[in-house]
Structures are given as structure tokens and as C-alpha cells.
Amino acid sequence: MNNLTTWINKRGLGSVAILALLLLVAFPLIFDIFRLNLIGKYLTYGFVALGLVMVWGYGGILSLGQGVFFGLGGYAMAMFLKLEASDPITTKIQSTPGIPDFMDWNQLTALPLWWKPFEHLPFALIAVVAVPTLLAFIISYAMFKRRVGGVYFAIITQAVALILTVLIIGQQGYTGGVNGMTDLKTLLGWDTRTDSAKYILYYLCTFLLLGSVLLCLWIQKSKLGTLLLAMRDKEDRVRFSGYDVASFKVFVFCLAAALSGIGGALFTLQVGFMSPSFVGIVPSIEMVIYAAVGGRMSLVGAVYGTLLVNFGKSYFSESFPDLWLFLMAGLFIGVTMAFPEGLAGVVEQKVKPWLRSRLAARKATATPPAGAMPATLRPLRADKTADPLPEGVGSQRA
Amino acid sequence: MSNTDFALAVEDLTVSFDGFKAIDSLTLYIDRNELRVIIGPNGAGKTTLLDLICGKTKASAGSIKFKNEELTRLDEHIRVRRGIGRKFQTPSIYENLSVFQNLEVSYPAGRSVFGALGFKCSDEVKARVQVVAEEIGLADALAMEAGLLSHGQKQWLEIGMLLMQEPELLMLDEPIAGMSARERELTAELLKRICKNRSVIVIEHDMEFVKQIAHKVTVMHQGKILAEGSMEAVQADPKVIDVYLGH
């Protein structure tokens, strides 16, 4: 048991375990299915926030266009579901039965060729990850090989978000336009709108999210994670240590895009539609806010940040319909001003030391001080430092 | 250009920035196992020369050959992999990482994306870190965050990071800048030790220090070589006295 606890602590898994308990046990017990489904929706943004921790927190690359990848993943899923919802019998009142309704409204008489592969679920699932990753690869390869970075890269990602929104809205017949793809009902005949389906999808989403946290944690603790931090601080030193800096940036940007795509697909499944309002500049910036509030160096923090901001959003918008945008802005400005490292930074620097001192004080009164000596006198061994930084928050300043 | 026995052969190298020739058809040969010091007044093009050799700046014309391989068209990281290490003027280390991690990251393995994902800090790596840390006098500071080191220790750490890669050509840009007298002595000893199996180019202003370490001295002026030879010969050269050492 003791071994297990040290193993968990050493890998920074304690906070992941707490998050898992909260998401898998506490939330389903506390909330009804309507609220739980809402949380499931928020958690899909959590995938984007995780990607931002990797790409922005660790890689130092600010992307203001993550909605693009979230949207592409979501649309890939929605295309499959839409085709399934548009069988000839349900759509028999259309002038061309068997094609999605928005195509019919836009005088399309046949399914476009590039829609055809989305009739197959395996293809759609691969596209959920592959399409965002491929676009991310093209953008980031072109930019990073030319050493475009910082604010210029952020502007490019904004432009991509804008372009994609305009494209989706403009090509109504192929994309559903500004309304997006709606009335998604079943997945291989399984009705995704029932309560039981919503529970299953919530758990699917949570497991995938926790899996993504573990994957990112593993990457952070690998040499690649250390290199990302090194690159963020001294890019030239990394380059002149024999590394192709651009390839690492491309990798982490593609990783973030793939995660966002998965989040988008889960969004479509849980919410039942996908629209351009999750692709553009505003949602993309909102996603950066999640990571900033949670703490851009902390994976678990980013998930909490996502939940908190979205809870805040729905609470404020329900209670103060006129003021809620200002309250949200206030929350964001307040948090980033007071806690530049987000909630995770507060926990790491304020709460944990406080708990530790309380614990130590209690121990000191319970046992004679001599008993506690060996632990504090343990010599610092060289190989201890091989472990990457604990939790990734405390000692790092961006 | 002909092949040579030199470790580094720079021939007719020119770089111009908006018409200003920072390096003007410069030719320079560095022997294997040689420690060469480059001196010269500010703006002579010393740092630019190192930038050109390591690839930070692209040459306008001329050739740079390392062990008879043309470098001018290779990317920076490829040049490093060929065996060229460069230390920057201001200590360039990863302040947020520990000393151990700084050295570990510099170990020449797992340099591709997926190589880095699968990289294991094996006993071999740890042993190498230990050896280098002892060489640069930071064996006791391995666990420390590198940003907390003194200025001199940061300079040594960066040299150590280069030593991790066992470069065949090591280029140091003002390694003792900002160091105390004692630290300068230690650095001189360090340089004498590490130049045994490799060529080293050092840019330095401190004449006492140059005297201690240099095998040969090159004096640069306005992007060209003004004089080359032993320290005594260079110091006696009237041209050098005129433009650099002063009367």
C-alpha cells in the first residue's frame, strides 16, 4: 500500500485520481442526467484545454484557433450521424430523399462525392482524429519550418478560424451553413438521446478524457516534455544541441489538434448537433480562457478550469441574463491578474504548503520531534533529479 | 575548394547585411586538437564568424568545411550532429530545469520526436552526466534549479551541456565574461583539459586569459583577418597594436 502511494505520488497521479473520483463517482451521484449531460458537454471542451496545456503551457505556442480542430472533429462525427439520420424513409418528403435535409433545401440532388466515405463509421472515427491532425500538420509545418512563432502564429491561427467559419457558413449546401448539422439521432441504430445513452456517453467521454490526461502526463514526463520546456525558455540552445525544433513544435501542435478533434466528436454525440458557433474566433479564445483559468501548466487544472468557467457561464447566464458576459469577463480578468498560474498555481503554491504545514504541526504535537528527523535529513541523491518536476506547476514560470 | 587535413577550413567566407560586409572574404584554418583564440575590437565580426560556422547566420558566399564536408547548406541541428558545439555569449541554459536535466537533455540520443518519447535515462546517461558534472565542478549541484546558479556556474553548465555531446569542434563566445579571478583560473584549467581530443575556438578579450590558454591567436578587424600566430608574435605586430591593443 505504501509502495503504491509513493508510486502514485512520484508520477503526479494523485490529482488525476481525485479528478477521476469526482467525474466517475461524485458527479453522477450528485447531478441528474440533464446536468450530467451538460457536464459531459463541458468535458469535451476539456480535451481542447488539455491540448492547450501541452501546446501553450509546455510548448509556449499560443494558438487562438483550437476551435477549428474541435469543429473539424465534431463535423466529421456529425456527417456520419447526419447521413444515418437521413435515410430515404425519414426523408421521403424531400425532393431528393436520402440526402441530408440541408442539401435538399439548397437544391442539391445527390450526395457530394466527398460525403460518401462518411457513410462508414470506421472512416468517420478515423477522420475525427486524422482531419484535424492533418490540417494542424500543414499549418504548423509551414509556419514552424519558417520560424514563424509567437504572436504571428497566434494571428495565423485566428485567421484559420475565421476562414473556416466563413467557409462553413458560405457552403450551406454542403455543411448546413450557420445552423450546422442538427437532428442527429442515432449511432448505428442506437438512440443517443435517451437517458441511458447519455449516461454511457458521459462515461465514454470521461474515460477518454482521463486517458488523454494520462497520455499527456506521460509525454510531459518523457524527454519530449523536458525538451518542450527547454524550447520555450531557450529555443536556440535546443536547436544548437542538435534538435530540429520545428518538428517538436509540429508534433505538439498536432497532438493538441487530435485531442480537440476527439473532444469535438464527443460534443456532437452528447449534444446532438454541431454548428459553426464552436469553430470561430470567439469559442477559440474562450477555450484559451479555460486553460488560463485552470492553469496552463497543469493538465488536471485545465479540466477544472473548463468546468468552472462553464459552470460560471451557465450560472451567470441563468441568474443575470443581462450581466453575465461582464461577470465572465470579470472572472477571467480577476483570475489571471491575481493568479497568473491559474487555479493549479494557487493550489500548488498556497493550498498545498498550507496543508503541509498544518499536517506537520499536527505530527509535531503527536510524536516527539526526534521521530520525524530521518525523513528530513535524507541526503539529496543525484539520481533523484532524474524525475521531472513534480506536478509541473510549482517551480515553473512562463 | 580542395580537401585539407584541417578540422575546419573556412575559405573566402563573406556575409553582408544590407551591403555592409560583416565578414569579408575571410579564410581561416583550424587544426585538429588546436585551441584557437580569436581577438579583435568590437564589431570586428568575431561573433558573426561563429554564427556562420554553426549556421545561425547564412553565408552570402564562400565555403565552410568541417572535416572536408561542406557545411554552408546544412541546417543548424545537422551541423551540431556532425560534431560542432556552440556556446553563446550570455549563458544560455534552461533556467527552469535542474542542472541534471540541463545535462540530460543535451545527451546526444533520442533527438527525433519519437526518439525523445521513448528516451530512457539509462545508467549510461546518468554516468555521463556525473562525469561531465564533475568536470565542470557542478557535481554537488545536480538537483539545483539551473536558474539559481551563479553567473560563472551557468557559464560552466553551458560548457558542460556541450561536452555531453562530445563535439569535435567547440566554439566558445567569451566564456569568462563576468567571472571572478578564481573562476577565470578554473575556466582556463577546464579549457586546457577539454581541448585534448577536439578543436576549440574561443573568442576572448581578456589578454591575460588568452595568454594562458591559446595555442594560436587570430586577430580580426572589420570582417577580415589582421594577423595570426603565437600570442607573442601577434602582440608585437604593429598593425595589431595600432587597431586593437593600443599604444
pLDDT in tens, A310-320: 988 888 888 88
Q: Say yes or no to pLDDT of A285 above 60.
A: yes
DSSP string over A202-267: HHHHHHHHHHHHHHHHHHHHSHHHHHHHHHHH-HHHHHTTT--HHHHHHHHHHHHHHHHHHHHHHH
Q: Say yes or no to pLDDT of A279 above 60.
A: yes
Identity of the amino acid at A255? L
Predicted pLDDT at A326 = 85
Report the alpha-carbon distance of residue A274 to residue A70 in Å, rounded.
10
Mean pLDDT of A146-161: 93
In chain A the first and final C-alpha atoms are separated, in Å, by 37
Query: Which stretches of B55-203 are assigned E, i.e. beta strand?
Result: 61-66, 69-70, 84-87, 169-173, 199-203
Instruction: Answer yes or no: do A239 and B77 touch at CB < 8 A.
Output: yes
Predicted pLDDT at A8 = 65
> Do A57 and A341 contact (CB within 8 A), yes or no?
no
* Chain A residues within 8 A of B110 when measuring between CB atoms: 223
* Chain A residues within 8 A of B111 when measuring between CB atoms: 242-244
Instruction: Answer yes or no: do B116 and A383 touch at CB < 8 A.
Output: no
Q: Does A119 touch chain B (CB under 8 A)?
A: no
pLDDT tens digits for range B195-223: 888 999 999 988 888 988 888 999 999 99
Number of C-beta neighbours around residue B134 at 10 A: 12
In a domain, A218, yes or no: yes
Report the alpha-carbon distance of residue B197 to residue B83 in Å, rounded.
12
Cα→Cα distances A117→A125, A176, A195, A299, B49, Å: 11, 18, 30, 35, 56
Contacts of A48 (CB under 8 A, 6+ apart): A66, A67, A69, A70, A256, A259, A260, A263, A287, A290
> Do B220 and B210 contact (CB within 8 A), yes or no?
no
CA distance A297 to chain B (A): 13
Predicted pLDDT at A381 = 39
Among the partner-chain residues B96, B99, B118, the one whose CB lies closest to the CB of A229 is B96
pLDDT tens digits for range B19-70: 888 999 999 999 988 999 999 888 889 999 999 999 999 999 999 999 989 9
Q: Say yes or no to pLDDT of A340 above 60.
A: yes
- How many domains are there within chain B? 1
> Do A60 and A232 contact (CB within 8 A), yes or no?
yes
Helix residue ranges, H only, chain A: 2-10, 14-21, 27-30, 33-52, 66-85, 101-105, 121-145, 150-170, 172-175, 195-221, 223-233, 235-239, 245-271, 281-294, 299-319, 324-338, 342-346, 352-366, 373-377
**DSSP-derived secondary structure letter, B246:** -
Q: Does B80 touch chain A (CB under 8 A)?
A: yes
- Reported confidence tier of residue A391, pLDDT bands at 50, 70, 90: very low
Instruction: Answer yes or no: do B121 and A386 touch at CB < 8 A.
Output: yes
Contacts of B179 (CB under 8 A, 6+ apart): B151, B152, B155, B187
Name the residue with cell 504545514. Answer: A357
* CA nearest neighbour of B142 among B98, B92, B96: B98
CATH number of the domain enclosing B41: 3.40.50.300
**DSSP-derived secondary structure letter, A192:** T
* CA nearest neighbour of A47 among A274, A205, A250, A154: A205
Q: What is the mean pLDDT of chain A?
A: 86
Q: Say yes or no to pLDDT of A383 above 50.
A: no
Instruction: Find the residue in B nearest to A393 (Cα).
Output: B96
Q: What ipTM, to 2 d.p.?
A: 0.91
- Reported confidence tier of residue B85, pLDDT bands at 50, 70, 90: very high
Q: Say yes or no to pLDDT of A342 above 60.
A: yes
In a domain, A186, yes or no: yes
In a domain, B1, yes or no: no
Residue from B76, B84, B90 to probe the interface with A (highest A Cβ count within 10 Å): B76
* Chain A residues within 8 A of B148 when measuring between CB atoms: none
* Chain A residues within 8 A of B158 when measuring between CB atoms: 237
Residue B113 belongs to what H/E stretch? helix B113-117
User: What is the domain range of residue A161?
Assistant: 32-280
Among the partner-chain residues B93, B101, B116, the one whose CB lies closest to the CB of A224 is B116
In a domain, B2, yes or no: no
Number of cross-chain residue pairs from A and B with Cβ atoms under 8 Å apart: 104
Name the residue with cell 575571410. Answer: B26
Cell numbers describing residue B202 = 574561443
In a domain, A315, yes or no: no
- Reported confidence tier of residue B247, pLDDT bands at 50, 70, 90: low
Number of C-beta neighbours around residue A125 at 10 A: 15
Q: Does B166 touch chain A (CB under 8 A)?
A: no
Predicted pLDDT at A261 = 96
Mean pLDDT of B76-100: 92
Report the alpha-carbon distance of residue B67 to residue B169 in Å, rounded.
10
Cell numbers describing residue B83 = 560534431
Q: What is the pTM of this model?
A: 0.88
- Reported confidence tier of residue A207, pLDDT bands at 50, 70, 90: very high
Alpha-carbon dihedral B43, B46, B49, B51, rounded to 10 degrees: -90
- Reported confidence tier of residue A350, pLDDT bands at 50, 70, 90: confident
Instruction: Answer yes or no: do A227 and B105 touch at CB < 8 A.
Output: yes
Cell numbers describing residue B241 = 597594436
Q: Say yes or no to pLDDT of A377 above 50.
A: no
Report the alpha-carbon distance of residue A288 to residue A295 in Å, rounded.
10
> Lowest-pLDDT range, A380-384, B84-88, B177-181?
A380-384
Predicted pLDDT at B54 = 92
Report the alpha-carbon distance of residue A34 to residue A13 in Å, rounded.
30
Instruction: Answer yes or no: do B101 and A226 touch at CB < 8 A.
Output: yes
Report the alpha-carbon distance of residue B138 to residue A128 in Å, rounded.
49
φ, ψ at B109 (rounded to 5°): -145, 155
User: What is the domain range of residue B207?
Assistant: 8-245
Q: Does B110 touch chain A (CB under 8 A)?
A: yes
In a domain, A393, yes or no: no
In a domain, B177, yes or no: yes
**DSSP-derived secondary structure letter, A181:** B
- How many domains are there within chain A? 1
Number of C-beta neighbours around residue B122 at 10 A: 11
pLDDT tens digits for range A38-86: 999 999 999 999 999 999 999 999 999 999 999 999 999 999 999 998 8
Q: Which of residues 206-265 of A touch B (CB under 8 A)?
A: 219, 222-224, 226-227, 229-230, 233-234, 236-245, 247-248, 251
> Do A45 and A309 contact (CB within 8 A), yes or no?
no
Instruction: Answer yes or no: do A234 and B56 touch at CB < 8 A.
Output: no
Contacts of A69 (CB under 8 A, 6+ apart): A48, A51, A132, A135, A136, A256, A257, A258, A260, A261, A264
Cell numbers describing residue B60 = 552570402
Report the alpha-carbon distance of residue B157 to residue B106 in Å, rounded.
11
